[in-house]
Structure 1
Amino acid sequence: MPIDNLVPALILTFLAGLATGVGGLIAYFVPRPDMRYLSVSLGFATGVMIFVAFVDLFCSAKEAIGMVRADLFFLAGMLVVYFLDKVVPHAHLDGQADPHCDRLYRGGIMMTLGIAIHNLPEGLAVALVALADLRLGIPIAIAIAIHNIPEGVACSVPLYCATGDRRKSCFYSFLAGMAEPLGAIIAILVLLPFLNGAVLASSIAFVAGVMVFICFDELIPIANSYGDEHLTNLGLIAGISVMMIALAAFH
């Protein structure tokens, strides 16, 4: 039963969100963090999420509720995050820093708020996947955590440059990460009273759309900015390959 995985799902979501704070700590200890090595790691996270979204989540939803309904919820997941991205001021990460640090404070605050809002559907994704199948929730939580580390850096570095206060900058990045378990709690409180096979399958199709949008809108552009598309693609292929092996072993 999905309820059996409730506590592990919340723990996984909390740990994934905590990675944003870890990124902030990296900025705390490293004055000029060189994060280009994350290109392969983010590519790997992208491969994991895309493969799981299409091969496992969407296919299982399609079998439970049919192709048309699964398609609609998948599309709804993509559109919700797209409009969220348009409505909420959100500076996309590009691995660059403005040398005029006195102008960064507003940008840093907008970045932090944007990342916090974007973490809400990510928390929903981790929680619902873990509720449906804990074996899939773990790699998704790891992939989201890898993605969250540079987001934490992106929160804390501009704020530190603007204020000179490393502690406050790291604290803000930690708060942005905690939006992730908040998203999980909201999703569980809203859905749990109505949770059955059809609702869970529809939610999983929705989450698959959220995950795919995050991959193409955030992870791949960020990964390319830290390295290049060849490094990103190597990581992506590795992530897909690992999930192929893992899912085959589980099945």
Structure 2
Amino acid sequence: MIDFFRELNPVMQAFIGTLFTWGMTAAGAALVFFVKGTNQKFLDSMLAFAGGVMIAASYWSLLAPGIEMAEEQGVPAYIPAVVGFLLGGALLLVVDKLIPRLENKQYMYGIGSSDARKRTTLLVFSVTLHNIPEGLAIGVAFGALANGFTESALAGAVALAIGIGIQNFPEGLAVSMPLHRDGMSKKKSFFYGQFSGMVEPISAVIGALAVIFIQPILPYALSFAAGAMIFVVAKEIIPGSQEKGNVELASISLMIGFAVMMTLDVALG
């Protein structure tokens, strides 16, 4: 099996690698099926946990690698970090303003309140956006093998895919549980949770095919996704998790989510 994978085209290797990351996202999202009842404290804690996961991922999975890539390219590291981060927040601000118009067209998810629908849209959009540069990063790692194959380079690309896949498990949960909290059915919550990871195989193939062109803009893309995630956490996730009065529980849950994602990101490098 290992020899078969080694002999594949780098584009196919990237696609297979991100099928794993997508599967891990779906596995995390599937935990929503094992939740019984609608205990408000538990659901609020899960929403806050999602916020903690997103904050940690925004730095260790996105900003830090983007800064490192910029330094390797000889670019002042703060430029792509600041520009991308602020543009990501600006995009989500625009999306936030557009959501009421989209709601009027009744395309939304069948969730009760307007606040819940807005939070749902921003959450799914931001986590999906976050997964695009991760897929690109995997694609770039495998695509680079075409320019100089080494066993260590292949091992590094595989390790990257495995690491991102493991990190995606709590991210899938971080999407599906808040959606269920806001009134969405378990099937729909799972669908949108796993959908957030579906973009990774697509972006990985693009990254592998266009590795030469993607690398210079990847630091901006990573920072862009980080800005989008922080905007959602600050505007929707934290206030939403505390709106029912479970402030201390939500605060603790956010810190636990942050610690879990930080541990995964740091341990998996």
Q: Considering the TM-score relative to the shorter chain, is it more than 0.5?
A: yes
- Which amino acid in the other structure matches residue 193 of structure 1? L
In the other structure, the counterpart of 2:19 is: 10
User: In angstroms, what is the RMSD of aligned CA positions?
Assistant: 4.1
Identity percentage over the alignment? 16
What is the TM-score with the length of structure 1 in the denominator? Answer: 0.64
The letter of the residue matching 1:88 is I
Q: Unaligned stretches of 5+ in structure 1? A: 92-103, 159-168
In the TM superposition, what is the alpha-carbon distance from 1:172 to its structure 2 partner? 2.8
**What TM-score comes out, normalization by structure 2 length?**
0.60
Matching residue of 2:164? 137
Instruction: Work out whether 1:200 is the aligned partner of 2:218.
Output: yes
Residues 23-42 of structure 1 aligned to structure 2 (within 5 Å): 23=32, 25-26=33-34, 29-30=36-37, 32-34=38-40, 35-38=43-46, 41-42=49-50
> Which of the residues 82, 95, 101 maps onto 1:84?
95
Partner of 1:166: none
Cα deviation 1:15-65 (Å, max 9, x = unaligned): 325544543x356x42x3332443663354245224425762343244244
Deviations 1:132-177 (A, max 9, x none): 644762464244223213234146x35xxxxxxxxxx433333323
2:232 and 2:26 mapped to 1: Cα distance?
Answer: 15
Q: How does 1:89-128 map to 2 (within 5 A)?
A: 89=100, 105=110, 107=112, 111=117, 114=121, 117-128=125-136
Residues 51 and 147 (structure 1 numbering): CA distance in 2 closer, same or farther, change over 3 Å? same
Change (3 A) 1:143 1:26: closer
CA–CA separation in structure 2 for the residues paired with 1:36 and 1:17:
21
Distance of 1:6 and 1:186 partners within structure 2: 8
Change (3 A) 1:210 1:146: same
Pairwise mapping of residues 183-194 of structure 1 onto structure 2 (< 5 A)? Answer: 183-194=199-210
| Alpha-carbon contact 2:67-2:219 (below 8 Å) kept | no
Partner of residue 192, structure 2: 176
Distance 1:146 1:135 in 2: 18
Q: Larger deviation: 200-209 or 43-52?
A: 43-52
Q: Which residue of 2 aligns with 1:100?
A: none
Paired residue total:
224
The change in CA–CA distance for 1:48 and 1:144 in structure 2 (over 3 A counts) is same
Q: Which amino acid aligns with 2:39?
A: P
Q: Using a 3 Å threshold, how does the CA distance of structure 1 residues 105 and 204 change in structure 2: closer, same or farther? A: closer
Unaligned runs of 5+ in 2: 1-9, 104-108, 142-159
In the alignment, the residues of structure 1 paired with residue 30 and residue 178 of structure 2 have an alpha-carbon distance, to the nearest angstrom, of 9
User: CA separation in 2, counterparts of 1:22 and 1:246?
Assistant: 19
Instruction: State the Cα distance separating 1:236 from its structure 2 match.
Output: 4.4
Contact 1:128 1:203 in 2 (8 A): no
Using the alignment, how far apart are the partners of 2:117 and 2:191 within structure 1?
A: 12
User: Partner residue of 1:223?
Assistant: 241
Residues 84 and 140 (structure 1 numbering): CA distance in 2 closer, same or farther, change over 3 Å? farther
Aligned partners of 1:73 and 1:203 also within 8 Å: yes
Listed one character per residue, the Cα deviations across residues 61-94 of structure 1 (whole Å, up to 9, x for unaligned) are 4424432233222222222233233323589xxx
Q: What is the match of residue 67 of structure 2?
A: 59
User: Does the aligned pair in 1 maintain the 2:85–2:227 contact within 8 Å?
Assistant: yes
Q: In structure 2, how many angstroms separate the alpha carbons of the residues matched to 1:6 and 1:191?
A: 10
DSSP-derived class of the 2:227 partner? helix
